[in-house]
Every structure is written in structure tokens, then in C-alpha cells.
Amino acid sequence: MKLVSANFVFQNRQGIVYGYITGGGLKQILLYQEGKPKPYVLHERPNILLGRLLTFRLDRYFSGINEDFSDIPLDLTGASEFQLRVWDALRKISFGKTCTYAELAVRAGFPPRYARAVGFALGRNPIPIIIPCHRVLPATGGLGSFSAGVEWKRRLLQIEGVTV
């Protein structure tokens, strides 16, 4: 899912984070990659308090503080039941911890053979960091892939003290 317009922007030394907030909660996040198109920034925000809370929490997170995003309201309309189960299990993976795709499948209540389907659900994750798909690594080792690029995944894991 491509973020075309944003109404939330957070910038620090790690990079730029664009977000889209609806009346129902945080709908989407884009971790900006240099050279890629930037979303159009809207000057309206239906939930200014959520924007302020996200700014505070992201600032702490990018400073290496174990930040809990579990109380951030999310607008996941349009997601399948499978995606919701996978993303819910993923939100329970703690700061600085990782798991494999098969382990996440089991945490979501599916057999390990669903690892590939779990990877597909993670590829559709509209809210990285808050739904921390960067914490899922391939069983074969290495970083695997990441919707915002492997360099972002490496940065996020380094912030959390994980070396791969």
C-alpha cells in the first residue's frame, strides 16, 4: 500500500517518517527512503492529540528507549482476519526481541507451515514500527526483506540493540 498523502510528519537523524491519521486512529506510516517520491503533506489532522503522542513516542523510540506503542489506536479497516491475527501477535514481540516467520505463525495461532503467508501479511503491514515487522527475521539468517528497504530494517534493529 503506497502512502500518497500524509497528515503527520516526524523527522530525526534516522530519517523521515510520514503518517496518515484518520478519525479512527493511525492508518499508515511510510519510512522515507532517499530518492523515492514523498507523499503530499496535507494540512489537516483529524486527531491532533494522536499526532502529538506519536511525535513524543517516536522521539523516545528513535533515542533507543523501549517504547510501548500498544495503546496507539490503529485504523486497520480493510485488513483481512488473517492479517489482523498476525499483526496482533507481532505487536506482542518486545522491543529488542526477534522471531522467525514460522515462530510468528505459531504465536498467531497457525502452524509453522504458514510462515510464507505470514511473510505476505507482513509485506502488507501499513504501520511499520507500531506493528514492528522489522523484528521478524528469516530462519536461514540475515535480515530478509522489509517494505521500507533493508537499510531501514537494519537501523530499527540497531536502535533496539539487535545485531544481525
Rounded Cα distance between 22 and 25, Å, is: 5
Q: Strand, helix or coil at 127? A: coil
Give, as one character, the DSSP assignment of residue 36. Answer: S
How confident is the model over 135-158, as a mean pLDDT? 93
So what's the pLDDT on residue 61? 97
Residues 102 and 144 in one domain: yes
How confident is the model over 130-140, as a mean pLDDT? 96
Tell me, yes or no, whether 72 lies in a domain.
no
Per the annotation, the verdict on 99 as an active-site residue is no
Question: Which of these, 37, 47, 44, 46, lies nearest to 2 by C-alpha position?
Answer: 37
Q: What is the mean pLDDT of the chain?
A: 92
Helix (H) / strand (E) containing 99: strand 99-100
Residues 38 and 105 in one domain: no
Tell me, yes or no, whether 148 lies in a domain.
yes
**Catalytic site residue from 133, 137, 156, 157:** 133
Query: How many domains, in total, are found in the chain?
Result: 2
So what's the pLDDT on residue 1? 57
So what's the pLDDT on residue 104? 98
Inter-residue contact 139 to 100 (CB < 8 Å)? yes
Tell me, yes or no, whether 70 lies in a domain.
no
So what's the pLDDT on residue 42? 81
Residues 50 and 85 in one domain: no
Which of 3-12, 72-81, 146-155 is predicted least confidently? Answer: 3-12
Residues 87 and 37 in one domain: no
Tell me, yes or no, whether 54 lies in a domain.
yes
pLDDT tens readout for residues 62-120: 999 999 899 999 999 999 999 999 999 999 999 999 999 999 999 999 999 999 999 99
Q: Which domain holds residue 47?
A: 5-62
CA-based angle 39:17:128, to the nearest 5?
105
So what's the pLDDT on residue 100? 97
Tell me, yes or no, whether 102 lies in a domain.
yes
Which of 10-14, 56-60, 84-88, 93-97 is predicted least confidently? Answer: 10-14
Dihedral pair phi/psi, residue 144, rounded to 5°: 75, -155
Residues 53 and 91 in one domain: no
So what's the pLDDT on residue 118? 97
Assigned C-alpha cell, 109: 495461532
The CATH number linked to 86 is 1.10.10.10
How confident is the model over 151-155, as a mean pLDDT? 95
So what's the pLDDT on residue 45? 64
